Amino acid sequence: MKRIGVFTSGGDAPGMNAAIRAVVRTGIFHEAEVYGIYNGFSGMIENEIRQLQFSDVGNILQRGGTILGSARSNEFRTPEGRKKAYSNLASHGIEGLVVIGGDGSFTGAKILNDEFGVPFVGLPGTIDNDLYGTDATIGYDTALNTVVEAVDKIRDTASSHHRIFFVEVMGRNSGFIGLDAGVAVGAEMTLIPEEVTNLDDLVYYLKRIRGKKKSSIILVSEGDDEGGAIDIMNKVKPQLEGFDIRASVLGHMQRGGNPSAADRILASRLGVAATETLIKGGTNLAFGIIGNNVNIVGIEEAISNKEVIDREKLRVIEILSRC
């Protein structure tokens, strides 16, 4: 291929810019023209497409977010919208795409391939770390460290005032952030979507450790079956009379910030591997890292499977936090 496009889609994740940089410079290295598609599938429909030069991606490796932007597109869900997107790609002579995003972004690119034969490869860009075929997704390490730093600060004030804090982290459908952060911050309990939450057990535990610990941190993934941190706090508060209880929602701060070294390296390696594969004619493939090696899976496999949490970490949290 001599002309490829790159775009980011779905929620932004630290390291996306590093991936964009890798795609652009790898394409140029192999004497291909690289076009940036701004604002995801929406920009594809609106023809927000322009060629990117070597210097356009200079000094972005360390920046959070995505210089290409990201947006939802209801129009892309329609055949008419997708036809318009394809026409714009064809008008620029774009022969293949690199999509950086989650499974929804991969699905959109696959539909474009099914209907119009546009080759594409996918890079896992999401802080949720729930994509199949990779040990880590681009942005996860940074988001995890953001949570750890924030909770460490909350622990300081919790200890000073002998408080219980329910801290909500991102994870609508997966508990990777909550689980790994729970181990890293020494949380007394972590509530995640993959496990049914028993509020009676939670109340019993908090009563049992009262007086034994200066503070308690309960991490709550936003997709927990009993609700978010504020919901759960309000449900158990009537049974914890005399306890000083607070809730904190970390929210979108988890998506921002300069990417960690791990995310920069991951994005750069996968960007090079995916772009070289696309240029050589590879398509319908998702890229990741297993161990320390680049791993490639078919896009159907990446979309239809879900990465599962390591429940052994729940046991680690229980052993290390219970009195």
Is the torsion defined by CA of 67, 10, 290, 2 positive or negative? Answer: negative
The answer to the question of whether 108 is labelled as a binding residue is: no
The verdict on whether 310 is a catalytic residue reads no
253 annotated to a ligand binding site = yes
Q: Are 36 and 76 in contact (CB under 8 A)?
A: no
172 labeled binding residue: yes
3-state secondary structure of 9: coil
Residue 208 CB-half CA count within 13 A: 10
Q: Is 213 annotated as a binding residue?
A: yes
Residue type (1 letter), 41: F
Question: With contact defined as beta carbons under 8 Å apart, do 132 and 119 qualify?
Answer: no
Catalytic residue among 12, 56, 114, 128: 128
Give the CA-trace dihedral at 94, 100, 101, 106, to 10 degrees: 40
Q: Is 1 annotated as a binding residue?
A: no
Residue 104 assigned to a binding site: yes
Residue 222 marked ligand-binding: yes
For strands 245-249 and 164-169, give the pairing.
parallel
Could you tell me the two tokens for 53? 């030069």
Q: Binding residue per annotation — 228?
A: no
Question: Does the annotation flag 73 for ligand binding?
Answer: yes
Which long-range contacts does 226-230 make (Cβ < 8 Å, 24+ apart)?
226/191, 226/197, 226/199, 228/168, 229/166, 229/167, 229/168, 230/166, 230/168
126 is in an annotated binding site: yes
d(CA 194, CA 196): 7
Paired tokens of 113: 């391939």
Q: Is 155 annotated as a binding residue?
A: yes
| The two three-digit tokens of residue 184, written as one number | 């890293």
Q: Report whether 260 belongs to an annotated binding site.
A: no
Binding site residues for substrate, as ranges? 126-128, 163, 170-172, 222, 246, 252-255
Binding site residues for ADP, as ranges? 21-25, 155, 186-188, 212-215
Binding site residues for Mg(2+), as ranges? 103
Active-site residue set: 128
Binding site residues, as ranges? 11, 21-25, 72-73, 102-105, 126-128, 155, 163, 170-172, 186-188, 212-215, 222, 246, 252-255
